[in-house]
């Protein structure tokens, strides 16, 4: 059994597949851009977050996720 952890950060999404003892079975990162349309503004497209989750999960973790995962921790952004 394993759990998939997802970390949505400012510059990318990190995923890690962790087993019941805490050992990391697989991990991956997908980068995305930050837009600054005006001075002191920062924006991100939620579609980039979604592509980051799908992209990082789909790289190194893909085969192990199908075989081992029994749960996932949803991403959470404190605002």
Is residue 70 predicted with pLDDT exceeding 70?
Answer: no
Per-domain boundaries in the chain: 2-70
Burial 21-56 (b: 16+ CB within 10 A, else e): eeeebbebbbebeeeeeeeeeeeeeeebbeebbebb
25-29 own/partner pairs: CB under 8 Å, 24+ apart: 25/61, 25/64, 25/68, 26/60, 26/61, 26/64, 26/65, 27/60, 27/61, 28/56, 28/57, 28/59, 28/60, 28/61, 29/56
Is residue 65 predicted with pLDDT exceeding 60?
Answer: no
pTM above 0.75, yes or no: no
Return the residue matching tokens 């995923």.
15
Chain segment 10-63, per-residue pLDDT in tens: 888 888 888 889 898 888 888 888 888 889 888 888 888 888 887 776 655 656
């Amino acid at each position: 059994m394993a759990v998939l952890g997802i970390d949505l950060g400012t510059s990318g999404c990190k995923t890690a597949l962790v087993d019941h003892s805490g050992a990391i079975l697989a991990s991956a990162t997908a980068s995305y851009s930050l837009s600054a349309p005006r001075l002191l503004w920062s924006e991100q497209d939620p579609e980039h977050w979604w592509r980051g989750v799908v992209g990082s999960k789909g790289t190194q973790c893909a085969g192990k996720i199908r075989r081992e995962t029994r749960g996932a921790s949803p991403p959470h952004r404190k605002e």
